[in-house]
C-alpha cells in the first residue's frame, strides 16, 4: 500500500470514519422529558426488556416496576431528576429527564370550569 493510502487510512481511523463489520453505533436513547404532578404517576413503556432502572434523585421521583417492558414513575417532591433504564449488558435503552411539578392538570380543568369563555389561558411550570 502506498504512503498516501496509509496516511488516509490512519486519518480515517483517528477520526472514527471507518466502521468495523458487525459493529453497531449507539442509538440516541434520550426521550422527551417526563412531566408529572406531585403525587401522580406516569407509565413509561420501554422499547425492550430492561435489567436495571436508575433514578438520579429518589427524593424527587420513584420507580415502580410493572413488568419487564414498563415502569411507573411517581412524583414524590417538586423538582427535577433523571431516569435511566438499562437492558442486557448494561446498555442504555431509555433515558429521560423527570420533572415533578404541582398538579397542573387539575388546575387547568378547574380554570376552564371557572372561566369557560377564556380560551387563551395556558398553564405551565416555572423555574424548572
**Do the Cβ atoms of 75 and 38 come closer than 8 Å?**
yes
Adjacency order of strands within the sheet including 70-75: 41-45, 70-75, 61-67
What is the DSSP track for the chain? --HHHHHHHHHHHHHT----TT--PPP--B-PPEEEETT-EEEEE-SS--SEEEES-TTTEEEEEEETTEEEEEE-SSEEEEEEEE-GGG-EEEEEEEEEES-HHHHHHHHHHH-TT--S--------
What's the grid cell of residue 50?
430492561
pLDDT for 115: 84
pLDDT for 109: 82
Residues 30, 35, 41: CA angle, nearest 5 degrees = 110
pTM of the predicted protein model: 0.64
pLDDT for 29: 52
**Do the Cβ atoms of 37 and 77 come closer than 8 Å?**
no
Chunk the chain into consecutive blocks of 10 residues (it has 128) and report each block's average pLDDT, rounded to whole numbers.
46 40 43 90 95 96 95 96 95 95 80 84 67
- Please give the domain boundaries of the chain with CATH numbers for all domains: 29-114 (2.60.40.1080)
Amino acid at each position: 500500500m502506498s504512503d498516501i493510502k496509509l496516511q488516509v487510512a490512519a486519518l480515517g481511523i483517528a477520526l472514527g470514519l471507518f466502521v468495523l463489520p458487525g459493529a453497531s453505533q449507539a442509538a440516541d436513547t434520550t426521550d422527551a422529558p417526563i412531566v408529572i404532578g406531585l403525587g401522580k404517576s406516569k407509565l413509561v413503556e420501554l422499547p425492550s426488556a430492561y435489567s436495571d432502572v436508575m433514578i438520579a434523585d429518589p427524593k424527587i421521583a420513584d420507580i415502580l416496576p410493572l413488568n419487564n417492558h414498563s415502569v411507573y414513575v411517581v412524583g414524590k417532591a417538586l423538582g427535577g431528576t433523571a431516569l435511566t433504564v438499562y437492558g442486557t449488558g448494561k446498555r442504555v435503552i431509555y433515558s429521560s429527564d423527570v420533572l415533578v411539578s404541582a398538579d397542573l392538570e387539575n388546575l387547568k380543568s378547574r380554570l376552564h370550569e371557572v372561566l369557560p369563555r377564556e380560551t387563551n389561558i395556558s398553564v405551565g411550570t416555572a423555574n424548572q
